[in-house]
Structure 1
Amino acid sequence: MSGSHPFRVLRAKPLWITNGVITGVLALLFTVFYVGANIDPAGHMKHLPVGLVNADKGVAVGGQRVDLGARITGSIQRSAAAGDKIDWKVLDEREMKEELGKGKLFGALVVPADFTSSVTALTGPAATGTPARPTLTVLTNQSAGSLGSGLARTATTLAAEDASLQVGKELTARIGTARAKLPAAARLLLADPAAVTVEDGHPLGSHSGLGLTAFYYALVLVVCGMLSANVISGQVDHALGYTHNDMGPLRLHRPLIRATRVQTLAIGSTLMAGLSLLMGTLIMAGAVGIMGMDASHLPLLWLYSVCAIAVSGISALTLLAVFGTPGMLLVTLFFIAMAVPTAGATTPIQALPGFYRFLAEFEPLRQITGGIRSILYYGAQGDAGLTRGWIMMAAGLVAAGLFGFGVLGWYDRRGLHRVPAETKPGKTAVPA
């Protein structure tokens, strides 16, 4: 037994260097993933989908057909002000409502049916009283993400205001000197004829967290799966006798039960699958039953929750089994550091830098959030994110199984067991 004082280990340079490198890299990576993804959403925004609806019926003026709604929507599409930041989707009202109801649009701009008739009335004989100002409606969609909806609202409102000014210039030029004969109120409105109003295009319940309950619910599922994997991994090792189990001042130890690495992962995965039933039930009961979260399709929500926890947990167990102690760092980076900024919940995918958009294609939290959002906000429609969520969870489970059992099987075949086989006295122990 060494007589050195325990605190002498603090003099060991490798202890400082190893831990310094690990903690320093973690700090840098978390900063890059969290701050880098959200530092300039408006600047990185590209092809944010926004609906553009022209419901204007037009009118006949002086024997000619006038359709100011078509001019406005055409002007908005041709405008270079937004560059490629907004992807204007020309739709009719029915299509627009369907797309908002699937979370495929972050907002919309609607030109009403009476827009042309209301504008032309400003310059007609009826413009002697108080003129009625036509309205362009900006629709928001918080269910698709509050920040994304806000970005769409800002861009759409500016587009509507610019379009109104452009129409005003055209009308002023067309009537020429006749403008002087109009009432003062009509002349004032003629320069900027359209009012812009903002409405909620896909209203949510008051207990929907302004469209964020889906993200936080999904985050709970992933974190429970990830942390449970760490607990289960340690408890399985203790049950098999590979490690001690410290309970306060007590140290518990069980007799060693030899198990291959493949068998150990299979035991842990079975436990995770079974306990996911319990965790999924309690999470839904807590969120919906106790906290009062707005939710429908409860049987589907429960099943999806259980599967999400199981897939996240088994994937985490795989990384822990394959990489050992560093596996927990990889689990944290994959399921938390890279996942939260790319989930599309706060910052939309279209407002992320390119590298983060790439991560969002396969990061599990984004896929799980899409499915939960579909169940909570969009009537569990498959093309609103639910189908993709199921497919990506299945793909993740298959990938984890192939990778985990494949690598661990190779470890076992090479004799890289966790405890060397017992040997006869006088002989050197070699891996079994």
Structure 2
Amino acid sequence: MLRRPQLWIGTGLIAAVVSMLFALLYVGGNVNPRGNLRDLPVALVNADAGADAGGRRVNLGEQVVSGVEKAAEGDRSIDWQLVSREEADKRLGSGKVFGALVIPREFSATVTALAAPQPPAQGKPAPPVITVLTNQSSGSIGSSMSSQAAQKAAHAASAQIGQELLKQAAAQKTPLPTAAQLKLADPVTVTVADGHPVGSRSAMGLSAFYYALVLVVCGMLGANLVNSQIDTALGYLHTDYGPVRKREPVQHTSRVRTLAVGIALMLGMSVIMGTLVEVATVAILDMDASHLGLLWLYSVATIAVVGIGGLALFAAFGTPGMLLATIVFIAMAVPSSGATVPLQALPGFFRGLAEFEPLRQITEGLRSILFYGAQADAGLTRAWTAMGIALAAALLFGFAVTRLYDRRGLHRIPRPDADETPEPPAAAEAPAPATA
């Protein structure tokens, strides 16, 4: 067999295509997130109430906001969204932004106090503070990118304010000590806090992605298992148990009926698999989770839809359908899911894939259930809608193709012709008697 060129060529082509495709998709989507970053949503909050300085009213928070927006004019990597603190908390709590830059109410007052002469008995004034909020529930890499951009903007604002404070200090009659001048040059303290905390057993915000990946893999494996078990029961395949081979008598049936039986079996298996996935992750591994009933329903539905989609591909394409299902549900889905690298940091091709690839929709729905209180607008409605569309498309495609095959007589195993009656075997002639 090893001397047959067809064996080497066929296997080599499949292996070459799969390895090249997986490498291009997996690495290509994640190789340069910072270079591909476009419009990462970050909230910008100016709660500064202003202060009186030198007989006039100033609002240094507005100055910081103006500087951030001016710097963003030539840089499309960050989408700064100027909102109130309440709206920022709402968007952090629904995954709409990856972080926030918050200018507090007393910002102008604390800055102007640094330049004002201080009586010795009063002590040092409190330093001005700008807070950077992170959001791990939206993805650790996206949250980190948001935090770095917000801290950079905050330090740039501090340096700009410091230059103005040094000019005001130079105009005073009493020169400032060197240490005081250094403090005025960079007066703002930048603090980092968690804007939407997640539990300690949530994989640092990645548990939704891992759970979604488990559901997709269970759906694919379930479809493969159901497909092989039905073929074995119909006598199309044999089963090996060690050295023992077992094969059932062939039962001729239509492709449509075979697919219908597979879907019914897949629905039953999805209930079992979805239940055990939740038991394993929540009850045994103690994963942080709430809305357990909704999580169970979502898990069962996801496995069922993925499994039915896989069965439709198997029914339409046969053995290559397994490879096609792997490409659709894994190879193209993982890098376009936005679970690790945010969608805003992916190349345009993968952003296009994310519009219909199932893993992105599944992950966003699970984030809503696990992190955002099952809010409909946090991705749950989109996930249910995408799941319904995928189920309808799989059923329509699968039954349309199998019906076409049946009508054209393209049976998996040729049926015996019922009209043709086999002739009885001719009787063997008796041997001639021996003569003397």
TM range (shorter): over 0.9
CA contact (8 A) 2:37 2:344 kept: yes
Residue 246 (structure 2) pairs with residue 240 (structure 1): no
In the alignment, the residues of structure 2 paired with residue 179 and residue 225 of structure 1 have an alpha-carbon distance, to the nearest angstrom, of 77
What amino acid is the match of 1:305?
A: S
In the alignment, the residues of structure 1 paired with residue 173 and residue 382 of structure 2 have an alpha-carbon distance, to the nearest angstrom, of 57
In the alignment, the residues of structure 2 paired with residue 233 and residue 169 of structure 1 have an alpha-carbon distance, to the nearest angstrom, of 72
2:131 counterpart (137, 140, 154): 137
What amino acid is the match of 2:230?
A: V
Aligned twin of 2:42: 50
Aligned twin of 1:223: 217
What amino acid is the match of 2:150?
A: T
In structure 2, the residue corresponding to 1:262 is in which secondary structure?
helix
What amino acid is the match of 1:163?
A: A
In structure 2, the residue corresponding to 1:181 is in which secondary structure?
coil
Residue 426 of structure 1 deviates from its aligned partner by 7.8
In the alignment, the residues of structure 2 paired with residue 182 and residue 127 of structure 1 have an alpha-carbon distance, to the nearest angstrom, of 14
Identity of aligned residues (%): 56
Aligned twin of 1:430: none
Aligned twin of 1:89: 81
CA contact (8 A) 1:262 1:412 kept: yes
Residue 184 (structure 2) pairs with residue 199 (structure 1): no
CA contact (8 A) 2:273 2:300 kept: yes
In structure 2, the residue corresponding to 1:122 is in which secondary structure?
helix
Q: How does 1:305-320 map to 2 (within 5 A)?
A: 305-320=299-314
Residue 12 of structure 1 deviates from its aligned partner by 0.9
CA contact (8 A) 1:260 1:417 kept: yes
Residue 187 of structure 1 deviates from its aligned partner by 2.3
In the alignment, the residues of structure 2 paired with residue 196 and residue 82 of structure 1 have an alpha-carbon distance, to the nearest angstrom, of 24
Residue 294 (structure 2) pairs with residue 300 (structure 1): yes
Q: How does 1:100-249 map to 2 (within 5 A)?
A: 100-126=92-118, 129-178=123-172, 181-249=175-243
In structure 2, the residue corresponding to 1:79 is in which secondary structure?
helix
Aligned twin of 2:429: none
Runs of 4+ in 1 over 3 A off after TM superposition: 173-176, 179-186
CA contact (8 A) 2:40 2:98 kept: yes
Residue 171 of structure 1 deviates from its aligned partner by 3.0
1:410 counterpart (387, 404, 413): 404
Q: Does the C-alpha gap of structure 1 residues 12 and 179 become closer, same or farther in structure 2, counting only changes over 3 Å?
A: farther
Aligned twin of 1:419: 413
Residue 127 of structure 1 deviates from its aligned partner by 7.0
CA contact (8 A) 1:123 1:186 kept: no
Stretch deviating more after TM superposition (186-195 or 298-307) = 186-195
Residue 362 of structure 1 deviates from its aligned partner by 0.8
CA contact (8 A) 1:82 1:155 kept: no
1:350 counterpart (338, 344, 358): 344
What amino acid is the match of 1:255?
A: P
In the alignment, the residues of structure 2 paired with residue 82 and residue 175 of structure 1 have an alpha-carbon distance, to the nearest angstrom, of 33
- What whole-Å deviation, never above 9, does each CA across 1:199-225 have from its counterpart, x for those lacking one? 111111111110011100110000000
TM-score between the two structures when normalised by the length of structure 1: 0.94
The number of residues matched between the two structures is 419
Q: Does the C-alpha gap of structure 1 residues 301 and 223 become closer, same or farther in structure 2, counting only changes over 3 Å?
A: same
CA contact (8 A) 2:134 2:195 kept: yes
What amino acid is the match of 1:68?
A: L
In structure 1, the residue corresponding to 2:45 is in which secondary structure?
strand
Larger radius of gyration: 2
- What whole-Å deviation, never above 9, does each CA across 1:133-156 have from its counterpart, x for those lacking one? 111111111000011111111111
Residue 351 of structure 1 deviates from its aligned partner by 0.5
Residue 81 of structure 1 deviates from its aligned partner by 8.1
Residue 25 (structure 2) pairs with residue 33 (structure 1): yes
Residue 185 of structure 1 deviates from its aligned partner by 4.3
What amino acid is the match of 1:195?
A: T
CA contact (8 A) 2:127 2:187 kept: yes
Residue 320 (structure 2) pairs with residue 326 (structure 1): yes
Aligned twin of 2:256: 262
Residue 78 of structure 1 deviates from its aligned partner by 1.2
- What whole-Å deviation, never above 9, does each CA across 1:87-138 have from its counterpart, x for those lacking one? 0011111000010001111111000111100000011133754232111111
Aligned twin of 2:388: 394
In the alignment, the residues of structure 1 paired with residue 422 and residue 165 of structure 2 have an alpha-carbon distance, to the nearest angstrom, of 104
TM-score between the two structures when normalised by the length of structure 2: 0.93
1:365 counterpart (353, 359, 362): 359
**What RMSD in Å do the two structures reach over aligned CA positions?**
1.6
Q: Does the C-alpha gap of structure 1 residues 57 and 250 become closer, same or farther in structure 2, counting only changes over 3 Å?
A: same
In the alignment, the residues of structure 1 paired with residue 58 and residue 168 of structure 2 have an alpha-carbon distance, to the nearest angstrom, of 13
Identify unmatched segments of 5+ residues in structure 2: 424-436
